Structure 1
Amino acid sequence: MIVISKEFGFIYVTTNKINGKKYIGKCIYGRVNNWENYLGSGVYLKRAIKKYGKENFERKIICNAYSEEELNELEEYYLNYFDVVNSTEYYNIKITSIGGDIFTFHPNKEAIRKQRVKQMTGEGNHQFGKPKTNKMIESVKKANSKHIIIDDVHYESVTSASDQLKIGISTINYRLNSDNFPAYKRVMPKKELKINGYPCKVGNQVFDSITEAAKHYGISTHAMRYRMNSQNFPDHILLNQK
């Protein structure tokens, strides 16, 4: 059983109440400056706050982390999940947990920059106020309805476990995908997780599996899977697919 200690930090999303644009980041509770009022430090976010005023931004904590490692992995998970660097719905321009600033050398750097400038000078976001489609809602419900096991206790769904353990659904899903929480297991693993056993190549070195490569470089299997499918890491190759 994993012993959970005091919260180390949290993942948050800051939203511009005027145009709906967002920023995802991390913060530690022991921050020197007041963490309670912290909105983020992104370049474009700061410019937006200066333009619209702090009163037009609100921050919501997505989930807590109990160590620096978990905090970094959670940040990486959410930044990748929402594809914030390529999305025009976010102020983020880098993914810090998987190699720093990837905006500088991004192949579509200028197009992204122009789009962000255009949105920051406008009054609205094309997604703001739009309701979620039935397909999106059903997809989330299906993903959260699969049986899981936590600390040898069987739960009928992620939602059920969240209600009983008082842990956020997003946090549980992260832990199910993380090697750092072996007590969190899916009864029927997602198909995408099967690629962890595929051989891969990083640079000139070949590994028998993604899991082995992740352990070698000291990162999560989720991060390694992301790199295998990202154009930003051309030297990361999934041998049976690329």
Structure 2
Amino acid sequence: MAETWILYRTENLVNGKIYVGVHKISDTTRSRQYLGSGDKITAAIKKYGRKNFERITLAEFSCLKDAYSAEANLVNQEFVNRKDTYNVCLGGRGGVNFTEEMKVKLSIAKKGKPRSDETKAKIGAFNRGKITPEKTKEKMRTAATGKSLAVVVNGIYYPSSQIAGRKEGMLQGTLLYRAKSTSPKFINYRLATEEEKSAYTSNALE
């Protein structure tokens, strides 16, 4: 049976941060639920819970070297330096930082094994930020809208959950989740009423 490796992206559905890696697919629960093994992504999964992460496949490969080569092409220094990623090392060879010699060898290897048109399209779209499942797109739209939602936390009115998050010292997504929750333990978090929003606007105009 042919072996398959995937280039995948794992996204934190709470804060939008992502992790890109390579994984060998197998018919096991562990493989199907695999989200990444880097230090930062592992810590984030422990903090937010597996249910708040989603893995999507960017490309499939029958050769491990090709998978690592594609990862190296995406997870470059600029990608690692971004604030919205969990990757801490350059891509390729399981997260090992490349020397210039290794980069040249990878470049030569890539030239000798051209990618399929489908793989090229997927990787190109990822680089342009255009590969986003509909479910994830909806969550992103909801998160963007949530930034402007007025909330009340511990009796204090905030014109947006983004401002509230900064003032209360927590992630905007976490605060908004609590504000919308019906759980008794989050009784001090709620969305502001129309009357409260109108009163705030009136006071601001006076």
Which TM-score applies when normalising by structure 2? 0.45
Structure showing greater radius of gyration is 2
Structure having the larger proportion of residues in helix: 2
